């Protein structure tokens, strides 16, 4: 028989009140452990410590904020009042602010240890924040004294189950100080410039007793205080998402149509459910309009859809749909179609991924149209990070059985050869389907052409077809002959040649007229 008395106690977590931080730590801090948060001045350490304390007392705990700096508590609290986590409720019986600066300066580390032991027991504290650990280093007579202080502090807090956070203004290499090796967890805040913008990142170097998301994660200091956004690919890697029945079934793949008869014919009735499609084209070729057709076709089938873009507001999109006669029933649209418009200058790509997946989960989205890639490119510092992000996002959307279209803008307006930038080529390799929209100039007239570049595990019509944009939306030619005439430079009318003319039959062009 197994002696259950020898089984280790279950780990008790302590929430920091910073959702992204708790996600990185797979649930939060561990009760009774000692942690070190370090970083340069201005990184947000004091905000972090106060945010932890205010959240802890709001959930029924008791906290002590001990500062070893010369800054007055009244001044620090005045700065904290601008954040949402600050509470004007009486703090005396739950949150105690103490200054240990004079005790340390005048009586040394032993006296500071006694002060901490006395106050932790007196206040029955379950969170202790010590701000200004560098002052201990400056006042300790030897390295041994610092180690003994840290050991005594750990014994005190572990005995009473008090979780301790040390704040240090270190900006050195890790593991070169006793504080780095003796604590149970080591967190590092950093801030650096990329071009003209400042990027803030947090990294967990160690966290005893638990797994955690490694690497750097972005954070900001906003109205809510510290807001941390774990890397999307790190979060999604650990989430278990069961495969949808459509991917497990041997039955024929369900199709997502556009309600554009000629185009649906080209793609064998629609896009395969759960697939990812890249729509490539230069500005003005109709990428957004094709995506709106896809979403509105879903609304007609009572399938929930999401538009996510960077340049047009929901009001502009609704107005365009109304003008084209798409999704005219406002009640049905409000029930089945969601619009999200994001600034193209967002600095954190994980915010974008979080917004998309939050709506996908909440609304049970089946059709997703992402209008533009530049907003994602602007939010990363390297192509490698973008590739990892997109790979993870695409995999998750497939596993959620979301059929996605992503509009990607090409630069060359009238280049007869299709040359994609390396960054777009990598992204296009991740998708199952590619649709190309392009302009072709013939005799001072622009024509629009559409073609399917690839569809994995599905048959499709590889021909190039002409299409036009009218008052009723996008219309694709019934055959490829009009596109053939345009590409060959011979655009005849049907009366003169018996062939299909360009969709604008009023235009009769002959090569001999040159």
58-88 pLDDT per residue, tens: 999 999 999 998 777 888 888 899 999 998 7
Mean pLDDT of 119-135: 93
% of the chain exceeding 90 in pLDDT: 56
% of the chain exceeding 70 in pLDDT: 86
Least confident of 83-97, 215-229, 297-311, 485-499: 485-499
- For the chain, which residues make up each domain, given as ranges? 12-230, 253-436
| Range among 186-195, 218-227, 234-243 with highest mean pLDDT value | 218-227
Q: CA-to-CA distance for 145 and 156, rounded, in angstroms?
A: 16
Q: Check residue 514 and give its pLDDT.
A: 31
Q: Side by side, which strands form the sheet with 367-371? A: 337-341, 305-309, 367-371, 403-409, 276-281, 433-442, 445-455, 465-470, 473-476
Nearest to 184 by CA among 38, 33, 49: 33
Q: Check residue 171 and give its pLDDT.
A: 58
User: Are both 12-230 and 253-436 of the same fold?
Assistant: yes
Least confident of 110-114, 248-252, 303-307, 397-401: 248-252
Tokens of 423: 């960054």
Q: CA-to-CA distance for 272 and 287, rounded, in angstroms?
A: 19
pLDDT band at 505; cut points 50, 70, 90: very low
Q: Check residue 72 and give its pLDDT.
A: 77
pLDDT band at 311; cut points 50, 70, 90: confident
Nearest to 125 by CA among 184, 30, 61: 61
pLDDT band at 493; cut points 50, 70, 90: very low
Q: Check residue 457 and give its pLDDT.
A: 81
Tokens of 323: 């003008």
Each residue of 210-231: pLDDT tens digit?
999 999 999 999 999 999 999 9
Each residue of 373-422: pLDDT tens digit?
888 988 888 888 998 999 999 999 999 999 999 999 887 655 555 556 66
CATH architecture of the domain 12-230 equals 3-Layer(aba) Sandwich (3.40)
pLDDT band at 1; cut points 50, 70, 90: very low
Q: Check residue 7 and give its pLDDT.
A: 53
Q: Check residue 497 and give its pLDDT.
A: 43
pLDDT band at 111; cut points 50, 70, 90: very high
pLDDT tops 70 at residue 241: no
Least confident of 85-94, 244-253, 431-440: 244-253
pLDDT band at 345; cut points 50, 70, 90: confident
Q: Check residue 486 and give its pLDDT.
A: 80
Q: CA-to-CA distance for 157 and 319, rounded, in angstroms?
A: 61
pLDDT tops 50 at residue 38: yes
Secondary element (H or E) of residue 51: helix 45-58
pLDDT tops 60 at residue 498: no
Instruction: Report the interhelical angle of 143-160 vs 109-123 (nearest 10°).
Output: 10
Q: Is 93 within 8 Å of 126 (Cβ atoms)?
A: no
Output the CATH code of domain 253-436. Answer: 3.40.50.300
Mean pLDDT of 91-113: 89
What's the mean pLDDT when you consider all of the chain? 85
Q: Is 293 within 8 Å of 258 (Cβ atoms)?
A: yes
**pTM of the prediction?**
0.82
Count the neighbouring beta carbons within 10 Å of the beta carbon of residue 372.
20
pLDDT tops 70 at residue 250: no
Q: Side by side, which strands form the sheet with 127-131? A: 95-99, 63-67, 127-131, 163-168, 34-38, 185-194, 197-207, 216-222, 225-229
């Amino acid at each position: 028989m197994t002696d259950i008395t020898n089984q280790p106690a279950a780990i008790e977590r302590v929430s920091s009140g910073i959702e992204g931080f708790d996600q990185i730590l797979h649930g939060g801090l561990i009760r009774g452990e000692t942690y070190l948060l370090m970083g340069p001045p201005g990184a947000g350490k004091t905000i972090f410590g106060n945010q932890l304390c205010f959240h802890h007392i709001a959930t029924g705990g008791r906290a002590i904020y001990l500062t070893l700096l010369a800054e007055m508590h009244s001044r620090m609290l005045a700065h904290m009042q601008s954040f949402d986590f600050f509470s004007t409720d009486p703090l005396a019986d739950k949150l105690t602010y103490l200054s240990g600066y004079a005790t340390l300066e005048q009586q040394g580390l032993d006296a500071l240890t006694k002060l901490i032991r006395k106050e932790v027991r007196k206040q029955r504290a379950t969170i202790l924040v010590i701000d200004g650990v560098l002052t201990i280093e400056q006042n300790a007579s030897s390295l041994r004294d610092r180690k003994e202080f840290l050991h005594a502090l750990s014994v005190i807090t572990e005995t009473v189950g008090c979780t301790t956070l040390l704040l240090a203004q270190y900006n050195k290499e890790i593991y070169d100080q006793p504080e780095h090796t003796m604590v149970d967890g080591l967190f590092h805040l950093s801030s650096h410039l990329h071009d003209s913008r400042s990027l803030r990142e947090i990294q967990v170097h160690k966290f005893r007793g638990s797994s955690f998301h490694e690497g750097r994660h972005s954070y900001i200091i906003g109205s809510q205080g510290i807001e941390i956004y774990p890397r999307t690919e790190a979060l999604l890697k650990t989430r278990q998402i069961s495969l949808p029945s459509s991917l497990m079934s041997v039955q024929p793949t369900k199709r997502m149509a556009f309600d554009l008869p000629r185009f649906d014919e080209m793609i064998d009735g629609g896009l395969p459910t759960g697939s990812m499609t890249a729509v490539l084209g230069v500005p003005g070729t109709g990428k957004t309009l094709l995506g709106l057709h896809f979403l509105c076709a879903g609304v007609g089938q009572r399938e929930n859809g999401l538009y996510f873009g960077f340049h047009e507001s929901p009001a502009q999109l609704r107005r365009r749909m109304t003008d084209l006669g798409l999704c005219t029933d406002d009640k049905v649209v409000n029930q089945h179609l969601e619009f999200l418009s994001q600034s193209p200058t967002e600095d954190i790509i994980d915010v974008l991924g979080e917004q998309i997946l939050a709506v996908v989960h909440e609304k049970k989205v089946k059709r997703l149209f992402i209008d533009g890639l530049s907003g994602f490119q602007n939010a990363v510092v390297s192509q490698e990070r973008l590739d990892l992000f997109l790979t993870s996002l695409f995999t998750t959307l497939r596993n959620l059985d979301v059929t996605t279209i992503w509009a990607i803008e090409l630069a060359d307006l009238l280049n007869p050869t299709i040359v994609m930038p390396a960054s777009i080529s990598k992204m296009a390799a991740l998708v199952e389907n590619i649709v190309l929209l392009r302009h072709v100039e013939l005799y001072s007239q622009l024509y629009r052409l559409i073609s399917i570049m690839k569809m994995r595990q599905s048959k499709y019509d590889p021909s190039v077809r002409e299409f036009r944009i009218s008052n009723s939306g996008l219309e694709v030619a019934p055959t490829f002959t009009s596109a053939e005439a345009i590409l060959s430079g011979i655009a005849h009318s049907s009366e003169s040649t018996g062939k299909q003319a360009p969709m604008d039959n009023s235009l009769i062009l002959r090569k001999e007229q040159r």
